[in-house]
Chain A
């Protein structure tokens, strides 16, 4: 009955890390601006696609990834400056629609420039699988999990120890008060878009050796990442990462033990059930109005 369970767990964690990294990007922007950025999946795609393109242009792999990640972070900043800030204090729902527009635009531009093909990236340290219990693990999966944990740790430090991190949290709590304290709310918003571009692109670049990439991978990732956010509790970075991992493992076990035809359904059914019981998500605190 339990045949293959270790393998399902490993596969689930690897895929889950993708969702988790995307979910982190959502959380980042939500925490500073209150917007759900539906172009988050496009940042992931940009990270992967730009790495592929730069690698083909002759850069060595680490440099190509670094450049791709920086470009995506820049794209994030640019997005805030060019389309979010000019709208000013519009209702969040309007801004959310704008992010959907941006995602379609980015997808279209990438498709026009680099075409509709799927691309692969070489694994960072060979493709020879390691045996672990009964499961075989790709070295790249370890890279993905390690980098995800590293990013998570760095974020924790950033928000609790640095002045910029605290300033971003302050903007999330109360924009006006933060502005009165001398924090540039607009700069913080731009910064958060840049960071989530960075996070998404890191995810895209480290995952491409496993999952391949194409101009439209962002759509599904964005959706799953958003679901992971909700599962973990919107606004909680650790909830987002954990939500992603749980979602991935649920899918993998569902496909393995019940039926692969309904793989996508299991995760969403569990999500719905959870929201009935605990609407704030697994790790979301009770919602309270600020006085």
Chain B
């Protein structure tokens, strides 16, 4: 008898639990707010905190207040896995945004999929959404889109022989794979494929070799400080070959490091950094609004990385609006139906075969002029 009563009690409790939990919509976040990748996690965290207040002030998502549970993975893959477990088992969140870095996303992707909770990654690696996993989405632009932007610009300038110089870390090498695939596909010849180490301080040897190979343009793929050294070495060697950079250096810091050597370089960048030069429209309004709010709240201007967090949270709200419910399944299904949704990084159109949802227009091609990023038209 006691055994039956106990079972009954358990059943009642179980049925009460979701009802109690449904007052708020819990969204988990795994971010690299400290550690080497804190330059990504910090603005993302700030943006989530800011958006949470704003969404709740407007009545929440699907009529529910949202609560963003943020865990810092300290840029460490083990901590990211632990954080994901906690979010799924202890906090029982309805969706997860993050992690900030690709390695951590790849490590927790399967956990989210097993628990049937949608994951909106804020890291760039193409592997996250190719092949498509039903429960995994990502907001940053793939390297492929940046390369397409650069190659379109080079092609218009009549470049037929291209050289690449890439950093020997994860970012550089995944970029290198895409470059090696897309450069021949664009009808150009890849005449030199050079590599440098993340800590290298002199790339004149690589650039001299590229000069000797008869390249008409060079693409450098890396994050600070390497590309700044490449730019300086190019100026030092008096090279006139046009130099393209990747979106990895689209920040004022790069211009500061490269100094005058940065003049005339062309690169793809998030629209956020040239928001003031954009044609008027809803996209410009959104970006300038974000920049103003963020700057007044945190005292510094947001970086493009913060925009990824903006995308993730507003996309979830949009998904809830489309499917009319906030269960993990409804959010996932809603995300796949998002179409023409303007957010900080670009216009998202997800489909069952495309979980990144962006196209090449999500990058602005900019040139560095007078120590500033200037939008190319």
Find chain A residues with CB under 8 A from B194 CB.
260
Stretch in contact with the other chain, from B90-98, B107-115, B253-261, B359-367: B253-261
User: Does A160 count as interface, using CB distance less than 8 angstroms?
Assistant: no
Per-position binary interface string of chain B over residues 150-175, scored 1 when its CB falls under 8 Å from any chain A CB and 0 otherwise: 00000000000000010010000000
Tell which of A7, A8, A15, A117 touches B201, judged by Cβ atoms closer than 8 Å: A15
Interface assignment of A62: CB less than 8 Å from any CB of chain B: no
Chain A 117-153 against B: per-residue CB contact (8 Å), 1 yes, 0 no?
1111000000101000000101000000000000000
- CB atoms of A15 and B199 under 8 A apart: no
Say which residue of B204, B228, B236 sits within 8 Å of A212 (CB atoms). Answer: B228
Is A264 interfacial (CB 8 A cutoff)?
yes
Output the least CB separation between B40 and chain A (Å): 12
Please tell me if A291 contacts chain B, counting CB pairs below 8 Å.
Answer: no
Q: Check A127 against B202 for contact (C-beta < 8 Å).
A: no
- For A15, the chain B residues whose CB sits under 8 A away are 201-202
Q: Is residue B82 within 8 Å, beta carbon to beta carbon, of the partner chain?
A: no
- B-chain residues with CB within 8 Å of residue A255 when the two chains form the complex: 205-206, 209
* Contact between A260 and B205, CB atoms less than 8 A apart: yes
- Bound-state CA distance A170–B259 (Å) is 49
B201 touches A260 (CB 8 A): no
Is there contact, CB below 8 Å, between B201 and A118?
A: no
Distance of A8 Cα from B168 Cα, bound (Å): 21
**Does the CB pair A8–B208 fall under 8 Å?**
yes
Contacts of B200 in A (CB 8 A): 263
The one of A136, A216, A219, A259 that contacts B238, using a Cβ cutoff of 8 Å: A136
Given contacts A3-B212, A260-B196, contact A11 B256 (CB under 8 A): no
Q: Are B195 and A7 in contact (CB under 8 A)?
A: no
Q: How many residues of A are counted as interface, with CB atoms below 8 angstroms from the partner's CB atoms?
A: 37
Q: Which residues of chain A have C-beta atoms less than 8 A from B224's C-beta?
A: 118
Asked if A210 is at the interface (CB within 8 A of a chain B CB), the reply is yes
Kindly state the separation between the CA atoms of A4 and B208 in the bound complex, as whole angstroms. 6
Binding site secondary structure of chain B: helix
- The CA of A10 and the CA of B256, in the complex, are separated in Å by 26
User: Shortest Cβ distance from B288 into chain A, in angstroms?
Assistant: 27
Q: Is B211 an interface residue (CB 8 A)?
A: yes
A116 at the interface (CB under 8 A from B): yes
Can you give 29 A-B contacts (C-beta < 8 A)?
A: A4-B205, A4-B208, A4-B212, A7-B208, A8-B205, A10-B204, A11-B202, A11-B204, A11-B208, A15-B202, A116-B36, A117-B253, A118-B224, A118-B225, A136-B237, A211-B201, A211-B202, A211-B229, A212-B225, A214-B225, A217-B201, A252-B204, A252-B205, A255-B205, A255-B206, A256-B208, A261-B168, A263-B197, A263-B200
Q: Which residues of B are in contact with A by a Cβ distance under 8 Å?
A: 36, 38-39, 165, 168, 194-197, 199-202, 204-206, 208-209, 211-212, 224-225, 228-229, 235-238, 253, 256-257, 259-260
Closest CB pairs A-B (n = 5): A211-B201, A118-B225, A4-B208, A255-B205, A11-B204
Residues on A lying within 8 angstroms of B by beta carbon are 3-4, 7-8, 10-12, 14-15, 18, 116-120, 127, 129, 136, 138, 207, 210-212, 214, 216-217, 219-220, 252-253, 255-256, 259-261, 263-264
